[in-house]
Amino acid sequence: MDKFDLFFDQLGDIQQMVNEKKRLQAEVAQMEQECAAKMQPLKDELNAIYRQLEARIPKFMNQGGSTPRTSSRIPRGKLGESIKNLLRSNPEKAFKPREIAEALDIKGTAVSLWLNKSGQEDPELKRIPTGPEGKRFVYTVN
């Protein structure tokens, strides 16, 4: 037996290992498909339950004896005082303008405009730059 015969014998062993690897890969893929086929009906049922919950929770929240939320209109000239009262009630938290608007149930643009126009000079408010290049701000009380 010369070196070429040895090489072809080793090549035959490698080919057997490659064939075994392919067989095992096919078997694993088949098992994965079977599991996915068994799980799909359960996933569909779970998604249907999620959709039902999402549809029913708002109804449940409104029936809890609480009155439905109405838009609270802040009188002219009182927006700044309302913002300061909110910030004073939570001194440890820094608020984004959007969070202030949601808490006061008003439009975010009104809050942003007031903070940019009147809030900059107000000594009670602390304006903290955040985000890239410090272009966004959060607000808290001094």
66: pLDDT strictly greater than 70? no
- Does residue 73 lie in a domain region? no
Average pLDDT, the chain: 85
**How far is C-alpha 59 from the chain's CA centre?**
24
Determine the Cα–Cα distance for residues 91 and 142; give it in Å rounded to an integer: 8
- Does residue 74 lie in a domain region? no
CA atoms within 13 A on the CB side of 105: 8
71: pLDDT strictly greater than 70? no
Average pLDDT on 97-120 reads: 88
In the structure encoding, which two tokens stand for residue 34, read together? 């079977």
**How far is C-alpha 130 from the chain's CA centre?**
19
Domain match, 64 and 102 both: no
> Which pTM does this prediction carry?
0.47
CATH number for 97: 1.10.10.10
- Residue finishing a domain among 68, 88, 121: 68
